[in-house]
Structure formats: C-alpha cells, structure tokens
Amino acid sequence: MNIHLTGHHLEITPSLKEYIQTKLARIFHHFDHVIDAKVTLTVNKLEHIAEATIHLPKSDIHAECRGESMYTAIDLLSGKLDRQVIKYKEVHKDHHRVQGGLKHQSIE
C-alpha cells in the first residue's frame, strides 16, 4: 500500500509525514484491500486544507477537510475517511455467504 504525499505552499516534514501515516493506519486496519492513497496538504493564509483520495478495488473515496492547524485538518480528514471506508465495506459486503444458513446445516 502506497501513500503519496504532496504539499502546496508547505514543506512536508518527517513528523508531519509520520502523523499522516499513523492516522491512515487506522483506515487500513478496517479495510485491507486499499490500493493506494494520495494526500495533498495545502496552506492558504490562515486556512489549512487536507484532502485525500483512497483507491479501492471498485471505486475511489475522496475527502477534504479544513482546519486552523494542519494537524486538526488531518484529524478531521482521517475521521471522515474512516467513516467512508466503513460504509464502503458494508455496501460491498457479500451478504449471501452466511455459514449458519439453512443450506449449510446438516440434517440429523
């Protein structure tokens, strides 16, 4: 799984990079089939913007958050992406593979 980091009007420091990786690790914990993630961090005067696109097998998930500091924006972004990945996982879950169903019970 690859994470591509880009900074607009911002230098991505090692501590910022590590912070993003720890926040995105929570998302990868929920769903193992993430292909890659692209994170863009932008600073516009007093506004810090964090946006990310996560590529999944059947679709892409995109989120954008703004905050007073970059760490706040990253926290909001990880929460938003986490909710979207959980929703994606529920929608694409195979509901027909139930092992406890009537078809799989043995007759005694």
Smallest Cα–Cα separation from 64: which of 37, 39, 87? 39
In this structure, the strands spanning 2-8 and 36-44 are parallel
Which of 1-5, 39-43, 54-58 has the highest average model confidence (pLDDT)? 39-43
What band does 28 get if pLDDT is binned at 50, 70 and 90? Answer: confident
**Structural domains present in the chain:** 2-92 (3.30.160.100)
Taking each helix axis from N to C end, the angle separating 14-30 and 70-91, rounded to the nearest 10 degrees, works out to 20
Average pLDDT over residues 15-23: 93
Percent of the chain at pLDDT above 90? 56
pTM of structure: 0.81
Question: Which range is least confidently modeled, 3-7, 30-34, 71-75?
Answer: 30-34
- State the pLDDT at residue 100: 57
